[in-house]
Structure formats: C-alpha cells, structure tokens
Structure 1
Amino acid sequence: MIVALSGMIILLFVLVGIQLSISRKKHKEKVMATLRMVAIIKRIIGLSQKHRGLTATYLQGNNSVAGELYEIRQNIEALINDANQFALTTSEARWEAYLDHWRRLESTSMQLTPPESFKQHTSLIETLLYLLQDVAEHIEFAETDQSLNEAHFLWREFPQLVEYIGQARAVGVATATKGESSQIDKVKLGYLCEKINLMSDTVFNKLNQMTKVSESDQLNQAKQACIQLVSLINEQLILPVKVSIANQEYFAIASHTMEQCNTLLDNELSAIVTRFSD
C-alpha cells in the first residue's frame, strides 16, 4: 500500500514536471514568434519611412527616385506576406487597418500633393508604431524575465525617436529639393528638432541605465548623429533664406542618423532574442 502510494506520488511529480516543461516550451515559442513579428513590423516601418522621404523628393520633381520607390514597395509586399503567416498579426485590428491604408496609398502616392503625401505616410506609420506596441505587449514579461520590464522603451520611445528623425528627413529633403524653406517648413522642422532633442535624451538616458548596452561606442555615435542632424537642420534649412544643401546630401545624412539609432535598437532587440533562445 505504502509502496503503491509512493509510486503514485512520484508519478504525479513526473507528470507535473512534464506539464511545466511543455508550458515553458510553449511560452518560449510564443515569445520567439512575437519577437520575430516585432522585427518584421519594425522593418516595414523603416521601409515606409524611406518611401515617405523619397516620395517627398519625387513630388518636388526628382523623377530619378521612381525606380527605388518601386523596389521599396516590392520589399514591403514581401514583408506583408511574411507577416500574414503569423496568427498573432492577422488577429490584430491595426494590422488590417494598416493593410487597407497601404493599399490605397500605394496606388495613389505618386499623384498626391507633397503635404498630403506626408500626412498620409505619417498616419500610416503611426498605425504601425501602435501595432508594434500591441504585438510586443503579447510577451508576458511578469511570467518570464522581470528585468524585461525596463525594456518597454525599445518598442515605444525608441521607435518614436526614429520616426521623428524620419519625418525631419521627409520634410527636409522636400525643402532641399525645391531650394527654399517656407514658413510652414521652418515651423515643422523646428518642432521636429525639439522632439528629436527631447526624445533622444529620454532614449539614450534609458540605454545608459540598462545593465547591458550592446556597444557604448554605438550609443555615443547615435547620440552625436542626432545632435549633428539637429544642428544641420537649423543651419541649412531653417535659418537661410535660400537652401543650398543638395537633397541627396541631406537625405544621406538624415538616413545615416536613422541607421545609427536603428543599429542600437536592433542590437538590444537581438539581445532579448538571444536571452529567450538560451
């Protein structure tokens, strides 16, 4: 009787252990799928931001970017197909809203006015930024790694910083293409410079506070790139009566700043993926 009872207790512990192991495995798979989806959405955001910037210069008469715009749309389509493989994405209402908006913008973007194009692209990207947050929140941090609670800014403030830089790239490249800065352009760029300064301080301070920052050199480079971009916007686009900086030069500098920030962000997201892969 005692032997049989002992055997049952041992069997119970074994079954509980197996169930816990299965639960942990399923949870780990869910987290990994979520992180893969975050990476896809982030990539779509980056391509959408580039599409906005190049469309701005196209609508100001720079037809040479038409081929690159077509390539960006093809790449976005491939990423949409990848995203549609995830039930997590297709169950999100914002994903459906994004698809509907993108289909309409994709077919009309080359015929819009520059202000309407900027407005439509920025609204589209805003939907994607909220979608990024929604998908990332599916990770149940409290049940996995408590230290990840401090990483929320990686899909909130950090992508928003990159978006402010992207907006400044789009407005600035259009301004450089037409060779003059209207009062509306100056106000928009001044507002974006202020946002970049404030958000970069928030993001870089949080990165400094994290126990593991991928590369301190990269952090300093990204910080300096933001400072230099804001200085360039003020000196070359806001203060002068006539804008002399070439649109390609400005686009490259703003894109470099975005790349510096995205490298940092990608490294931190990769570190989270590695943590869950162990």
Structure 2
Amino acid sequence: MRLILLTLLLLVNLEAKSFFGNSTQAETSKYIDNLKDLIISTQKTRGLTNSYLNGNVAAMLLVYANRDNMKKAIGNMESFSLASDPVINSRATAISTALIKLNHRAFKQKPAKSFSDYTDQIGQTLMLAQSVSKRFAKDLTPFAKESSSLMMESMLPMTEFTGRLRGLGAGIAAKEKVTKDDKQQIEALIYQLTNANQQLQVQLNQIISKYSDKLPSSINTELASINTKVKKYTELAQKRLLTNPSKVNPDDYFDEGTDLISAIIRAYNTLDQAMLKDSKGWF
C-alpha cells in the first residue's frame, strides 16, 4: 500500500520536477546571471561617462570601477559550457572585443558619441541574451522557458530604458541645461519605460499565478516596488529635470535611476534563482 501511494505521489509531481537534474537549465541560469551583470555594469559605465564628459568630474572613479565589473562579468561568462556554443561564442567575443576598445577611447570622444557607442554595444548584448533564451528553450522546463523569456525580452530591455533615461538625464543635470533634442529623447524614454512597466506587471503576474509553487511570496512585493519606482523616476525626469535641470543634482538623479534598476534586478534574480532550483531533479 505504501508503495502504491509513493508511486502516485511521484506521478502527480512528475511534470513539476524531473527525476534527474537539468544541467542545461542550470548552466543557462548561471550564464544569464553574468550576462545581466555585464549589461548593468555597461549601462553604469555609459551613464557615468556621459556625466563626466558633461562636467561632473567626480564620476571618473566610478567609471573605472564599473569597467572592472564589466571585465569580471565577461570572464565569468567565458567559464561556462554555454560559451563553447559557436553562435554564443562568436557574439560574446565580438561584444567583449568592442567593449575593450570602447573603454579605451570613451573619454576622448564627444559625450553624444560615447553614449551612442555604449548604447550600440548594450543593444548587441541584449540580442545575445535573447539568443541564449531562444537557443536553449527546448531544453528548459515550461516554468524556466517562460521565466527566461520574460527576463531576457522584457526585464533586461526595461533596465536599458531606465539606464538610458538615467545616463542622458545625468548629463543634462551636469551641464545644467536642456535642449529640444534632449527633451524629445527623455520624453520618448519615459514613454518606453512606462509601457515596458505596464507589460511587465501583466506578464509577471501571469507567471506568479501559474507557478506560485515555484516562486517565493517576495516576488509580489518586488513587482509592486518596480511599479512604484517607475512612477517616481518618470515624474522626476518629466517634472523636474526637463523644467529646471540646474536644480537637479546629477549624482542624485543617477542614484534614483540605479535604485529603479536595482528593483528590477531583484525580481530578475528571484526568477533566476527559482529557475536554478527548478533545474534540480529528484536524483
């Protein structure tokens, strides 16, 4: 009788957990964690470089610190087996090479050029993230497939909208004036960030509802925090930065953007850890 009950229990949970661990899912989880670190440190490097080139000399040391974080993330990515995949390897190597060259010349460029070059490389890294998610999707559980797709295609792009809003805004605050072009760019980013947040609220709530047994209750608080901070930061940009930039401290403005990105990353990390846990089987 006990044997029958045990068999039934295993059958009920078979879809939720495999008998054996999913090594590809575990590797994917660890790889995209460091890919996230590369994107975040590159975004900080871009924004701080823009602030420095617009007159905020105090930002220089922080630029070098975040360049070191970029190198660390790249080194970690190269240590995983996913890095041997020809498509992933080719794209990651191209990004790494381009970032090294860009870091050497960034301080010698005009602010707009430097910002644009970093943005291009972040775009390439976001494309790499989506490639990783799609390339190994067939080897992931349904929960991991949906979570990684949300992380790569919604959450990381959302950090980029915030990062650009943060970097451009810090530059505007540092030079204490806003041009017509600045205003158009900031307003466009506010629109993109607001829309991205609305989509994230819907998509992540769906995952929470569908896979509540795989996620900690903290994910609800983390999602609500993102919503609150998006509203706060977009109001700061629209109502204060664009109307009176000389009254906005560039470092404080940058820190507010970092606070929002950190909130997004907390939810990202929760999903990533749940995805890693989900990769572990019965044996």
TM-score (norm 1): 0.85
Superposed counterparts of 1:1-278, under 5 Å? 28-90=22-84, 91=86, 92=88, 93-141=90-138, 144-151=140-147, 152-210=149-207, 211=209, 212=212, 214=216, 215=218, 216-240=220-244, 242-278=245-281
**Contact 1:55/1:110 (8 A) holds in 2:** yes
Q: In 2, distance between residues paired with 1:133 and 1:24?
A: 29
Q: In 2, distance between residues paired with 1:247 and 1:169?
A: 9
SS of equivalent to 1:180:
coil
After superposing the two structures, state which structure 1 stretch, 250-259 or 56-65, moved more.
Answer: 56-65
Q: What are the ranges of 5 or more consecutive residues in structure 2 without an aligned counterpart?
A: 1-17
Q: What are the ranges of 5 or more consecutive residues in structure 1 without an aligned counterpart?
A: 1-22
From the superposition, tell whether residues 274 and 60 of structure 1 become closer, same or farther in structure 2 (CA, over 3 Å).
same
Tell me the CA shift for residue 87 of structure 1: 4.1
1:10-47 alpha-carbon deviations (Å, 9 max, x no partner): xxxxxxxxxxxxx985x722221121111111101000
**Contact 1:222/1:257 (8 A) holds in 2:** yes
Q: In 1, distance between residues paired with 2:235 and 2:125?
A: 29
Q: Which residue identity lines up with residue 266 of structure 2 in the other structure?
A: T
Deviating beyond 4 angstroms after TM superposition, the runs of 4 or more aligned structure 1 residues are: none
SS of equivalent to 1:156:
helix
**Contact 2:137/2:145 (8 A) holds in 1:** no
From the superposition, tell whether residues 145 and 189 of structure 1 become closer, same or farther in structure 2 (CA, over 3 Å).
same
Q: Which residue identity lines up with residue 62 of structure 1 in the other structure?
A: N
After superposing the two structures, state which structure 1 stretch, 194-203 or 127-136, moved more.
Answer: 127-136
1:58-88 alpha-carbon deviations (Å, 9 max, x no partner): 1012222222211211222122222222342
Tell me the CA shift for residue 140 of structure 1: 3.5
Q: Which residue identity lines up with residue 44 of structure 1 in the other structure?
A: L
Q: In 1, distance between residues paired with 2:174 and 2:163?
A: 16
Q: Which has the higher contact order (CA 8 A, sep 6+)?
A: 2
Tell me the CA shift for residue 50 of structure 1: 0.5
SS of equivalent to 1:239:
coil
After superposing the two structures, state which structure 1 stretch, 263-272 or 76-85, moved more.
Answer: 76-85
Aligned pairs, number: 253
Matching residue of 2:7: none
**Contact 1:236/1:243 (8 A) holds in 2:** no
Tell me the CA shift for residue 239 of structure 1: 3.0
1:171-198 alpha-carbon deviations (Å, 9 max, x no partner): 0000010111111110000000000011
TM-score (norm 2): 0.84
Q: In 1, distance between residues paired with 2:163 and 2:80?
A: 28
Q: Which structure: larger Rg?
A: 1
From the superposition, tell whether residues 225 and 177 of structure 1 become closer, same or farther in structure 2 (CA, over 3 Å).
same
Q: Which residue identity lines up with residue 238 of structure 2 in the other structure?
A: N
Q: Which residue identity lines up with residue 146 of structure 1 in the other structure?
A: P
Q: Which residue identity lines up with residue 67 of structure 2 in the other structure?
A: R
Q: In 2, distance between residues paired with 1:144 and 1:67?
A: 41
**Contact 1:173/1:247 (8 A) holds in 2:** yes
Q: Which residue identity lines up with residue 167 of structure 1 in the other structure?
A: R
**Contact 1:35/1:136 (8 A) holds in 2:** no
Q: Which residue identity lines up with residue 52 of structure 1 in the other structure?
A: R
Give the share of equivalent positions with the same residue, in percent. Answer: 20
**Contact 1:154/1:265 (8 A) holds in 2:** yes
From the superposition, tell whether residues 156 and 144 of structure 1 become closer, same or farther in structure 2 (CA, over 3 Å).
closer
Tell me the CA shift for residue 123 of structure 1: 0.4
